[in-house]
Amino acid sequence: MNIGFIGLGIMGKPMARNLLRAGHRLSVYDYRQEPVQALCEDGATAACSAADAARNSEMVITMLPNSPHVREAVLGKDGVLQGAQQGTILADMSSIAPLEARAIAAACEARGVHMLDCPVSGGEPKAIEGTLSIMCGGEAEVFEQIRDVLLCMGSSAVRVGEIGSGNVAKLSNQIVVALNIAAVSEALTLAAKTGVDPQDVFEAIRGGLAGSTVLEAKAPMMLCHQFAPGFRMDLHIKDLKNVLDTAHAADVPLPLSAQVLEMMQAVKVDGGGTLDHSALALYYEKLAHVSLKGDGEVSGP
């Protein structure tokens, strides 16, 4: 399939690479030239704009940081709708506000472009492996047309409802992930402060009911202070802000999500916004005056 791919960041670049490996023909665009050049070396064609990436593409994928970026890439000057033909399918795989996804989709439909919101979960490691979890909202018939393409990037692609519902599922996912990271941070900080090796506690609890994908992925990062971003703190802050905006519009109180958002914001203020979201452990270390790294010193971002 001819695919336009817009947004080649931590997630988008490996996702695009997996599509190339699966035999799809890609026209790629990003404001940064380095990832564009890297993908061209793998067989992609460079586009000079989002409109150019969409031109002659049967499907367009956007993988961008937030709602305003998607709106600009799709509806703005030299955006997707300036180049896409009627019948083109747009899969926005960014994590954005559900109401914004519906508004952008309505503008697309008016131009004969069919949009699905298809955010992902799994971070950079699963993007590289091609084992992302993909949550989709939109028309069932359109979803079935691109399901096999999505499965080149993920181990699962599930349609959860109409347009916008993919991002509701992603926001729900981000609540569970954020609260799990906070719980892991609390547990390991308790162990360290009471003189019990947090590494031993991790080994002791990982096989029981406390075991989780989050525990397996994030506890080792916390214990060695390796916070290179698989998913940046500032992006999780963005997601939790969208969580609360969506929840407030629906009259749903989410007190734990609000609390973790403020904790992540505190880490960002200390300079940790570009670190992996597992760096939430630094918030607890600062409160308890202890380090999970085992050196007894509190380390900042």
Name the token pair of 293: 């790294």
Of 13, 126, 170, 268, the active-site residue reads 170
Active-site residue, 241 included? no
With CA atoms as reference, report the closest residue to 83 among 107, 117, 58. 58
Distances (CA, A) of 258 to 77, 203, 219: 36, 30, 23
What's the CA gap between 281 and 222, in Å, rounded? 6
Q: Which of 98, 102, 53 is nearest to 73 (CA)?
A: 53
- Residue 96 to residue 67: CA distance in whole angstroms: 5
Residue type, 260: V
Provide the 3-class DSSP secondary structure of residue 42: coil
Active site residues: 170
